[in-house]
């Protein structure tokens, strides 16, 4: 569950007009709304998951009553006819770095991704570490699990494993009307079979852009509409893709995104902390958990800093990996925190002296772009990549 500080940031960024929540979260929602600077706070609170007879907080509209009888909805904006390029969903993602950003997904994005995945068995998206944990129980005894790959920025699906292959080391093949290429980190040249580089994706499911953040959008989508995923990958002679590592600073805790920059900002707001760096460390149950490295100006305990952060963020963002105290935090010449060794493995910040770039040999320029097209979706017009992303 979000704390009021976190919710306030999302409300401010999204300029939401309505919040659907449960009665138990009503107080937190009100606190978040009260923090908004605008005098006009056109938010209608609609409680969800309550019976008609349940007492709800004053000022809220019971969801069951809303659908059962006429309720005054005059404060709601009039719904205008939608076009394929209108934004229909705004999930938040940290992208490859930084604080959470609103990912603008259009009607075209979602319809295209639905059509792309209808050619495969029905799927429920699940975090891999959560699936591994379930595998230790009897829950999956009668079910099969298959690999796949996607991002919030791709609506979300990009790659799926064909059921007949069952290759446990691969994430699968591209879905219809999707292009991918593996790009050298140094030269930006496209790599051939077996080359390890950053995975770039292009297709109708790629987001319109980040809300009110042209700079961040341009950082991940180039002029030819290729999306930089921030993941290191390769593919084999059968066009099966493999994820090798992650360039992103993002930490994944049981499938939830944790932006190091968010926790670092909170730590630096503590009066005893001068500098802070946060990385993800391996955890058997969660996949990763955040660990903080701090430089202090006065004495402070690990528990005090952990409790300070815990009072401002959701449970999955807490410093379960602990706190390490340093005399200095390694940075590159431009001031960027060094989070990885040259091999790409997460290291203890106290001994890391190298940058995050994984050396990859250069290759001659060639067009090793993989494509998967499908007649059905092309006929419906969803192979077109919108040019008005910005």
| CATH code, domain carrying 269 | 3.30.300.30
Query: For position 133, which CATH number holds?
Result: 3.40.50.12780
177 & 296 share domain? no
Specify the pLDDT at position 128: 59
Can you name the residues that pair with 21 across neighbouring β-strands?
47
- Give me the mean pLDDT over the 137-147 stretch: 69
pLDDT for the residue 197: 92
- 291-324 tens-digit pLDDT: 999 999 999 999 999 999 999 999 999 999 999 9
Handedness of CA 261, 266, 269, 274 (dihedral sign): negative
Instruction: State residue 295's pLDDT score.
Output: 94
199 with 58, same domain: the answer is: no
Examine the domain organization and report whether 186 and 95 are in the same domain: yes
The answer on 266 and 224 residing in a single domain is no
Shared-domain flag, residues 106 and 238? yes
Can you name the residues that pair with 206 across neighbouring β-strands?
none
Q: Are both 115 and 166 inside the same structural domain?
A: yes
Judge if 213 and 104 occupy the same domain. Answer: yes
The residue segments making up the domain with residue 327 are 249-355
Question: Beta strands 148-150 and 101-106: pairing type?
Answer: unpaired
Rounded to an integer, what distance in angstroms lies between the CA atom of residue 190 and that of residue 291?
35
Residues 151 and 9 in one domain: no
Tell me how far apart the alpha carbons of residues 322 and 311 are, in angstroms, rounded to a whole number. Answer: 16
Give the H/E segment covering residue 221.
none
Q: Is there a domain that residue 229 lies in?
A: yes
Q: Which of 384, 92, 107 minimizes the C-alpha distance to 213? A: 92
Region of poorest pLDDT, from 3-7, 52-56, 133-137? 52-56
What is d(CA 183, CA 186) in angstroms, rounded to the nearest whole number? 9
Give me the mean pLDDT over the 321-345 stretch: 69
Residue 384 lies in a domain: no
256 band by pLDDT with thresholds 50, 70 and 90: confident
Q: Which helix (H) or strand (E) is 223 found in, with range? A: none
Residue 186, pLDDT score:
82
Instruction: Please give the backbone phi and psi of residue 32, each rounded to the nearest 5 degrees, phi first.
Output: -65, -40
Same domain, 240 and 375: yes
At residue 19 the predicted structure's pLDDT band, cuts being 50, 70 and 90, is: confident
pLDDT above 60 (res 8): yes
Number of domains in the chain: 3
Res. 100: pLDDT tops 80: yes
pLDDT for the residue 354: 28
pLDDT at 175: 94
User: Quick check: 239 pLDDT over 50?
Assistant: yes
Q: Given this model, what pLDDT does residue 129 score?
A: 58
Same domain, 115 and 205: yes
pLDDT of residue 221: 97
What is the pLDDT confidence band of residue 360, given thresholds at 50, 70 and 90? very low
**Domain for residue 81, yes or no?**
no
Say whether pLDDT at 357 is over 50. Answer: no
pLDDT, mean over the chain = 78
- Give CA–CA dist 171/191, Å, rounded: 18
* 220 domain-assigned: yes
* Closest listed residue to residue 163, CA positions, set 140, 142, 147: 147
């Amino acid at each position: 569950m979000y704390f009021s500080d976190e919710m306030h940031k999302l409300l401010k960024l999204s300029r939401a007009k309505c919040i659907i929540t449960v009665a138990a979260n009503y107080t937190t929602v009100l606190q978040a709304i009260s923090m908004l600077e605008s005098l006009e706070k056109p938010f209608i609170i609609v409680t969800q998951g309550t019976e008609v007879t349940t007492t709800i907080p004053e000022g809220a509209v019971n969801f069951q009553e809303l659908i059962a009888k006429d309720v005054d909805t005059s404060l709601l904006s009039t719904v205008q006819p939608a076009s394929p390029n209108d934004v229909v969903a705004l999930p938040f993602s940290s992208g490859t770095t930084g604080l959470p950003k609103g990912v603008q997904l259009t009607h075209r994005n979602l319809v295209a991704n639905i059509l792309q995945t209808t050619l495969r068995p029905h799927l429920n998206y699940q975090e891999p570490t959560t699936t591994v944990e379930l595998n230790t129980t009897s829950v999956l005894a009668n079910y099969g699990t298959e690999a796949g790959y996607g991002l919030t920025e791709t609506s979300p699906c990009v790659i799926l494993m064909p059921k007949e292959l069952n290759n446990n080391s691969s994430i699968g093949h591209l879905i219809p009307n999707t292009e991918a290429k593996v790009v050298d980190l140094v030269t930006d040249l496209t790599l051939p079979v077996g080359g390890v580089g950053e995975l770039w994706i292009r297709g109708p499911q790629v987001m319109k852009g980040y809300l009110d953040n042209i700079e961040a959008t341009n950082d991940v989508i180039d002029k030819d509409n290729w999306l930089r995923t921030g993941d290191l990958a390769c593919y084999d002679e059968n066009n099966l893709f493999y994820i090798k590592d992650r360039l992103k600073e993002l930490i994944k805790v049981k499938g939830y995104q944790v932006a190091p920059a968010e926790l670092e900002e909170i730590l630096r707001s503590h009066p005893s902390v001068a500098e802070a760096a946060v990385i993800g460390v391996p955890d058997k149950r969660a996949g990763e958990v955040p660990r903080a490295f701090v430089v202090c100006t006065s004495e402070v305990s690990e528990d005090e800093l952990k409790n300070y952060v815990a009072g401002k963020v959701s449970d999955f963002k807490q410093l379960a990996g602990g706190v390490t105290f340093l005399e200095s935090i390694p940075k590159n010449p431009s001031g960027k925190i060094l989070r990885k060794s040259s091999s790409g493995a997460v290291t203890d910040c106290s001994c890391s002296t190298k940058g995050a770039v994984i050396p990859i040999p250069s290759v001659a320029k060639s067009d090793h772009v993989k494509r998967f097209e499908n007649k059905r979706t092309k006929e419906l017009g969803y192979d077109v990549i919108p040019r008005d992303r910005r």
